[in-house]
Amino acid sequence: MITQRLLAVLASASLGTPLLADKNDTPLTSEQILKKVTYPAAEFEATVFASPPQVSYPIYVSAAPDGTLFIGCDPNGSLDRKPGLGKVIMARDTDGDGKADKFTTFCTVDSPRGVAWDASTRTLYVMHPPNLTAYHDDNNTGVANRQEDLITGLGFGLDFRGADHTTNGCRLAIDGWIYIAVGDYGAVKATGKDGRSFEMRGGGIVRVRPDGTGMERVVWNTRNILSVAISPTLELFTRDNTNDGDDGNDRLSFN
Instruction: With residue 33 as reference, give the H or E element that holds it.
Output: helix 30-34
Number of other residues whose CB lies within 10 A of the CB of residue 43: 11
How far is it, in rounded angstroms, from Cα 175 to Cα 141? 28
Per-residue pLDDT of the chain (255 residues; tens, 9 = 90+): 455 656 665 443 343 445 555 556 678 888 998 888 888 888 898 999 999 889 989 999 999 999 999 999 999 988 899 999 999 999 999 999 999 999 999 999 999 999 999 999 999 999 999 999 999 999 999 999 999 999 999 999 999 988 888 898 999 999 999 999 999 899 999 999 999 999 999 999 999 999 999 999 999 888 888 889 999 999 998 888 776 666 666 777 777
First to last CA, the chain: 32
pTM: 0.89
Whole-number Å distance between alpha carbons of 227 and 239: 8
Cα 46 to chain centroid, rounded: 21
> Using CA atoms, how far apart are residues 70 and 58, in angstroms rounded to an integer?
10
